[in-house]
Every structure is written in structure tokens, then in C-alpha cells.
Amino acid sequence: MSGLLVVTAVPAEADAIRAGLTDPAVTVAPVGVGPAVAGAATARLLALAEAAGRPYRAVVSAGVAGGFAERVAVGGTVLATASIAADLGAESPDGFIPIDALGMPPALLGGGSTVPADPDLLAALRAALPEATVGPVLTVNTVTGTAASTAALSRRYPDAVAEAMEGYGVAVAAAQAGLPFAELRTVSNPIGPRDRGAWRMREALAALTEAAPALS
């Protein structure tokens, strides 16, 4: 996909994707962890490319993620139907209230807690990765690490398949620039009680390399 910008959090993810790419015109950039730095860095990269007369045509947030155990296996590949800011909102005695339900004024492009994936870009990725699990991917500022918080998150977003920390930020930057967006993740661990020893980072990075030709 010439003119594609692929944004990852860390260099290991970027290296894994580059290892599988077949199109040298795809740009892969590691920008840091979390939605704020991911959004700001993506916006800067898009603005610089446009100013140089070489604008990007689409943006993909890619990397490893935690997966909901009953919905996607460790080592599996995920394509997001939407990127959701899962903890953007307010607490209340009745539970979490998403930002969309707080009566805020209408937001700019890419505002609210959900940014849908571009239908055409998602369709192209699904065709190239037919075995990928497809569903909403949550963006969180704090990775879920207990059974109780996992259960609460699963109840709040029953269709979500994975959680990561950058997709929503990248999605908002793409929306602000008027560009198609998608999110591709591979699963290194089940969401739940934090157990670094059970993470399969090597397998997830290898799966990124295997999925990377879909971005070419």
C-alpha cells in the first residue's frame, strides 16, 4: 500500500513489521507508548509529509496487544472494526460513563470515544488476512491486570477482542487529517491477572512479521 504510514509503539514492533514488508514505500514509525504520544507523533508525521508534498494516503496503528481469552488466542491476529478509548469518561455510583454520554458539545473530527476503521481499508486487510479475528480494539491508559477489571471491561465492551495503548490516539490523528485508518494487532497475552512470565512476545512479534505483507 504505497503511501501508507504504519505507526507502532516500540522499535521491536516496527522491526517485526519491516521484516515482512514487500513494499519499500510503506513507512513504519515507532512513536512511543500511550494514546497521547501516539496521537501527537502521528499528527506531526502527517503534517510534515503534507508540507513536503508527499502526503500519506492512509494510516495503520499496529503492534502487539492483550486479547480477550474467549475471543482470540495468544499468537492470533486482530483487525479492529473500531478503536475505542475504553477509559475516557467518568466514574459514577452506577458505573463508568463513556465520554459520549456525558453531554459534551459535539466534538471535532475523530472526537468521542470511538473511531471506526475505514471500511475499504479494513476490507482490504480482511481479504489479505482471512484468519484474523475482527472486532473492536480497546485503547487503555492502564493495561488491565486483574480478573475483576477484566470482567468489568468485558461487560462494558462485550464485542471487543483486544486491548492496546495507542490505537485511539493514532485514529484521532488520522481522522483530523481526513485519512483512512485501521488497526492491526497480534496477541501476546490474554487480558487478565498480570503475569509477564506467561506473555508470548516472541510469538506475537513473529505473527506481526507474518501479517506485514497485508500492508504492502
* pLDDT (0 to 100) of residue 117: 97
CA distances to 40, 106, 114, 212 from 207, in Å: 27, 39, 26, 9
* pLDDT (0 to 100) of residue 31: 97
CA quadruple 61, 66, 69, 75: dihedral positive or negative? Answer: positive
Q: Block means of pLDDT (10 residues each) for the chain, length 216 residues?
A: 91 97 94 96 96 96 94 95 86 75 58 88 97 96 86 90 96 95 96 78 96 95
Residue 101's closest CA among 168, 109, 92?
92
Residue 168's closest CA among 107, 96, 114?
114
CA distances to 34, 57, 172 from 54, in Å: 27, 9, 21
Q: Where are the domains of the chain?
A: 4-215
Q: What kind of architecture, by CATH, is found in domain 4-215?
A: 3-Layer(aba) Sandwich (3.40)
Render pLDDT for 87-139 as a digit per residue (tens, 0 to 9): 877 777 877 777 777 776 545 445 578 899 999 999 999 999 999 999 999 99
DSSP annotation of 193: S
The grid coordinates listed for 44 are 506531526
Q: What is the C-alpha separation between 114 and 136, in angstroms, rounded?
A: 9
